[in-house]
Structures are given as structure tokens and as C-alpha cells.
Structure 1
């Protein structure tokens, strides 16, 4: 049996109903409009509810307990905007188990408690708490970071939030809480900036549960061929059409160099332009004689705008290339990325040492690698 009691004192605008949704595969976990509706239960005047349909469920099942706003047509609409008010909670129920939950209906996910939780459900609650606390810090940071020029700072704050969930997934021995953490890292399914995490999760769980269907789905998503070049990979010998009309290869550029930054940018990208002036230029001036080089690949279709940005930023000291095909170009396809600013830090053999380091993080990496 699965039942519970809700604090309905702040229930205005919310349906007096609780829904039981079953995600049937990894893609459906934590996603709206796709999970199977198993049951609904009316919340009585005291806030009590009780599900009946679990009598027909065999074995162990992953469920999402959901509440909805009045007027919502779909019982399986799940919110992933703010852990304080998100409207669902994942848990595991096993046939024959008596599971009792309590929550405030208007702060459902953040307030759920489970009486005498199993190990796996205790792990779900731990994950929920980590997410809630990390998101609060992230939200407070975002309020201080406005405007296009602070895009990289916002991205760094997002990564710090995600890192809490990633650390949980790396450490937990519980499969389903780990899968939920992977989903909460990026509810929209965008792992472009953190493909190494996804690959490592695929490897970890495939080794433990090679025949599990959820794990097989994760492993397919975590296929290296579908993700950006990883740290530790050998970069292919890319061919660059240079700003002066010549062509050169990555191998030719890395020859004799100790450290190369492959920087993907655009003249219309405000944080890219700041990075040129405030980070790459000082680094080039300080470390070029020690074997530091930059090859900047631009997502451009307008040659005059591109060349003007190079000169205005003082970036004409390092190498520049572009197919002048905008963001649909062979380099982005080879790197398997869609987002800029982006960079790949390579050693003299073309091995990826690090990725997407910006600002002081990039400065510190170069200083440590080449010696300050």
C-alpha cells in the first residue's frame, strides 16, 4: 500500500488529488507527458490520500508521486524549474510494502518525507536534499549575474550546481537514485558541457548491471560517438581554412608547441570578445615564447566583421580560421559541439588535457602547465 498525508493549508490553486506516474524507460524519467498514469487518489479534508492500483503491480517499481495545479489537463506533467516547488517525487515501491509519505502540497518535492524509508528511498531523499540546497545557492548567484557579458559566470555557477548531483551519482551504490541524479543534472538532456560524466556513468552501471534495460538505455545515450570530444581523447588532425586564405592542419600547428588552445568563438559573441581581450591576449603575451599557441576558429559568415573583431581585440597575434559558414561547419561537426564559447586545451601531441576553461581557470591551468 502507498498512502500519505499532505499539509493542505496552502492548497489554493492546487488540485486536491495525488497522481501515481510510472516512467517506463530512462528517457521518461522526470519528464512531462510521457510516464504511464497508474492511479489517482483524492485528498480528503484532513489531507489523507491512498492509492489502490498498486494491488496489481508485481515486484519492484520506480514511481513518481505527483500533484498538479487546478486546470492542468495532464496528470503526468512534471515540473523541473525549482526544487522548492517542483511537483513530483521519485521513489521505489515493492509489492507487499507499506509506504507512507508526508508533504506540504504547495512545496511538494522539497517537503516530502517517507516513514521508515528503505535504503533506496533514503537515497532518493538524500539526493533531493542535495539538489534543493545546491539549487538555492545557484539561484542566489544567478540573481547577481545579468547580461550577455556574464554568460560564462552563469555557466560556471550552473556547473557548480550540477557538480553536486554528479558527485552523488558517482558515489551512490543505488542505481535508480543515480539515474534520477543524471536526469536532474540536465532535465532537458543536454550533456554537451559534461560528456565525461555521462560516459563514466554509463561505464559504472554497465559493469554492475550489464543486462538491466535501464542501464542499456543509459549506455546508448552515453556512447562516445554521440558526445563531444572528451578530455583524454586524441584530437583528429583537423584542417583549418586560415584568415589569410591558406590552409593548415592541427598537426602542423601543434608541431613544436607545448600547449595549444583551440578556441571556438564568434565576433558576435560578447563573452568571447571579453575572453580575447582579458584572457587570451595576456596569456599569449606571457607564454608564447614558452610554447603557448592559440588557434581560434570563428563561427562567421561575414568576413569584414570577423577581421574587424580580430583587430579590435588585439587577437591578430595568434592564428585564426573559419569556413565562413556560420555555426554549420566541419569543425563544429568534428568536435560534436553546438555551444560557444568553447575551447579544447591540447598538448604538443594533440591530446585533450582540459576543456572549456575560461577566465582565471584557464590562466591558472596555463601557468601550472608551463610554469609561471
Structure 2
């Protein structure tokens, strides 16, 4: 009897680590003989990397995963060392034979062969017109040094670019609601929740997902982010906290009662934060004489203190800067349920949160309405 029970226990334990075998077969008219294709993804074993060489305009990978995994393919660029990726594709690893076919190279691949890759290709097809439009726009993050000095140009291009990106959001939510049992939907929501503007819609779509998706590791992560993101909402009293500034002096949020305060969360290593800093500086300079100020909290770590101080100087952040240099364990970061940066809250003179995540032109239009 004991032997039977032990055998049953072992089977149950092993089933938790069951592996699904997959193959990826790709071809493209634009591939060159000898092109190197890199495959990378995270698994229960850690970060996995593999590579193969293109022969006769095609390549092939094989392996096994525990449950569905989103992976990335790169052509002739090892992602470990590349700063900018020029040719890549996304693929969902699951049991079966996955195919990628392209009239060119990776970035134009069509996914097929397994259910999740078919789903992903449907989502890509729905988003393609918006991506095509993006390619016709000037990327505000790739301007020359001289062009970046023209603040009006930068602001205008950012507005056009991000407005186009925002047009994709309803398409993504529509896909999720039509595919409540697809892991692609879960991954899509995990990307959308990075912007707190969509948190209520993410919560609504998440509630419609299958029980299996909601109880998965990624599902639990999204659920936690929803709960954290709704910890502080518009209309609630901003919670007080104390943090050291760059000189070690303790500053409290309540010290700023009587002013409109933009409580800004960022870090020196955060590219999107650094890109938004000039916009915050512009708003600060325009409204600082009218009762507006900024209070920034960095989630840099102690080992990166010099990088934090250098970034403050480089970005001209002349307002008060706070940090306990504890990274994601930063006290106000946890108090306010911040899950991604850049993030901010606009607090009224009497300490009430009146807006969240005001970026780009939304920050300026909101302040303009306040200081008519």
C-alpha cells in the first residue's frame, strides 16, 4: 500500500514539471546563407538562450517547455549585447510544430502551426495598420542632438507618436475579450497594465479570463498589480511619508501642503523616465510661480547612488529629489502601490490626489486648466 501511495505521489510531483516538446521552423525570402538566429526566453530553469544558422533560407529550433512561454527570435544580433534590435519576432512556445513564414526576414514573419501562435498572428494582423502608420512617423526618440534642442519639435513629435500608440489599446482589449482562454490575452493584459490609465479596463477584461489563466503565475502577478494600482485612487487623501533628499535631509510630503504637487516616481536607469523628465521640467518652469512644484522619488539602489545624482544633473531636475536607495523596496513606492515607472500623482494643496499618471501633453493640459 505504501509503495502504491509513494508511486502515485511521485507521478503527481513529476506531472507538475511535465514538458511540452516544440519545434520552430522558419523561412524567409530575405534570409541570407549563414545568418544566425537567436532564440531567448525565460523558463522554470532560468533564462534560456539558443542559436542556429540559416541554411537554404530556413532555420529550425527544437526544445521543451513547461507550459506556454513567450519567446523572442533575433537575426544576427545577440540580444545580450545589442542596444537596439533591428530584426526580431515574437513566438509562443508550446507543444507542437510552430511555423514562421516571411516574404522578407523575421520582423515580417507570420506565425502559425499551434493555437497560441495562430492567436498571436490574429492580434498582429489587427494591429498591423497602426504599426504601419507608426513607421511613417518620425520617432521622437531618434532625433539628432541638434533637433532635440528644439523643445517644441520634440513635444509635437512625441504627442503625434504616442497618440498613435494609444489607438492600439482598444484593439488589444477587443482581442482579449474575444479570446478569454488564450495565453496571448494574458500576456497582452500584462503589457497593458504597465500604464495605469488602463487599470480599470484591465481589471474588467481580466475578470472575464478563464480560471486557468487567472490562477497562473502571470495571472496572479496581474491580479496583484491591479490591487496595488487601485490602492491610491483619485479623490483619496495622499498618504504622508518621509524620505532623505540628496543631502540626507529628511523631507515629508506633508511639508508641501498648500501647493499643487506632482509626486513623481522614476529611476536613473529607466529610459522612459529619462525621456519624460524634460516634459516635467517644462511644466515645472511654467507653473512653479503659480503654486505648483514637483517632488521626485527615485527607486534607484544604494550601489547606483552616483548614477542617480548624475541623472538628476544631466536632466536638469532642479526640484527636490528623494530616495532611500532601496530599489523596489522604497517606502513611498510601496505605499502608493506603484508597479511600473515612470508614474506620478497630482496632489491638491489640501493633500487630495486629483490625477494620476499625467504624461506628455496631458500634464500640461491638466495644469493649464488648474491655473487658468
Q: State TM-score, norm by structure 1.
A: 0.54
How far 1:86 sits from its partner (Å)? 0.2
For the structure 1 residues 334 and 110, does the alpha-carbon distance in structure 2 shift closer, same or farther, using more than 3 Å as the test? same
In the alignment, what sits opposite 1:126? 125
Instruction: Answer yes or no: is the 8 Å Cα contact 1:235–1:350 preserved in 2.
Output: yes
Instruction: Provide the C-alpha distance between the structure 1 equivalents of 2:98 and 2:326, rounded to a whole number of angstroms.
Output: 51
CA spacing shift, 1:295–1:142, aligned 2, 3 Å:
closer
Paired with 1:226 and 1:110, the residues of 2 have a C-alpha distance of 37
Q: How far does the alpha carbon of each residue in 1:117-165 deviate from its partner, in whole angstroms, 9 at most, with x for none?
A: 9972542432663674366357733222646997x95987885575355
Q: Residues 250 and 228 (structure 1 numbering): CA distance in 2 closer, same or farther, change over 3 Å?
A: farther
User: Are the aligned partners of 1:67 and 1:108 in contact in 2 as well (CA < 8 Å)?
Assistant: yes
Structure 2 unaligned residues grouped into runs of 5+: 1-21, 269-273, 299-304
Aligned counterpart, 1:357: 359
Return closer, same or farther for 1:69/1:107 CA change in 2, 3 Å cut-off.
Answer: same
Per the alignment, in what secondary structure is the counterpart of residue 234 of structure 1?
A: coil
Asked if the contact 1:91/1:121 (under 8 Å) is kept, the reply is no
Relative to structure 1, the CA distance from residue 331 to residue 4 in structure 2 (aligned partners, 3 Å threshold; closer, same or farther) is: closer
Q: Is the contact between residue 35 and residue 75 of structure 2 (CA under 8 Å) also seen in structure 1?
A: yes
Distance in structure 1 (CA, Å) of the matches to 2:32 and 2:163: 34
The counterpart of 1:171, out of the listed 157, 171, 174, is 174
1:362–1:62 distance in 2 versus 1, CA, 3 Å = closer
RMSD: 6.0
Task: Give the 3 Å change call, closer, same or farther, for CA 109–137 of structure 1 in structure 2.
Answer: same
SS of equivalent to 1:297:
strand
Partner of 2:108: 110
Q: 1:238 aligns with which of 237, 240, 243?
A: 240
**Whole-angstrom distance in 1 between the partners of 2:220 and 2:363:** 31
Residue in structure 2 matched with residue 144 of structure 1 by the alignment: 143
The alignment of Structure 1 onto Structure 2 pairs a total of residues equal to 315
Q: Secondary structure at 1:236's aligned position in 2?
A: coil
Q: Does 1:209 align with 2:210?
A: yes
User: How far 1:207 moved relative to its partner?
Assistant: 3.5
Matches within 5 A, 1:1-372: 6-8=27-29, 10-15=31-36, 33-34=47-48, 45=56, 47=57, 66=73, 69=76, 82=85, 85-90=87-92, 101-104=100-103, 107-112=105-110, 114=112, 120-126=119-125, 129=128, 132-133=131-132, 136=135, 140-144=139-143, 146=145, 160=163, 163=166, 166-172=169-175, 173-174=178-179, 175-182=182-189, 191=194, 194-197=195-198, 200-201=201-202, 204-212=205-213, 215-224=216-225, 232=234, 234-239=236-241, 250=254, 253=257, 260-264=260-264, 275-276=280-281, 278-285=282-289, 288=290, 293-297=291-295, 330-331=331-332, 334-335=335-336, 343-347=344-348, 348=350, 350-358=352-360, 360-368=361-369, 370=370, 372=372
Tell me how far apart the structure 1 counterparts of residues 81 and 163 of structure 2 sit (CA, whole Å). 24
Q: From the superposition, tell whether residues 197 and 327 of structure 1 become closer, same or farther in structure 2 (CA, over 3 Å).
A: same
Structure 1: segments with no counterpart, 5+ residues: none
Whether the aligned pair in 2 keeps the contact of 1:127 and 1:168 (CA below 8 Å) is yes
CA contact (8 A) 1:203 1:219 kept: no
Residue 220 of structure 1, CA deviation = 1.9
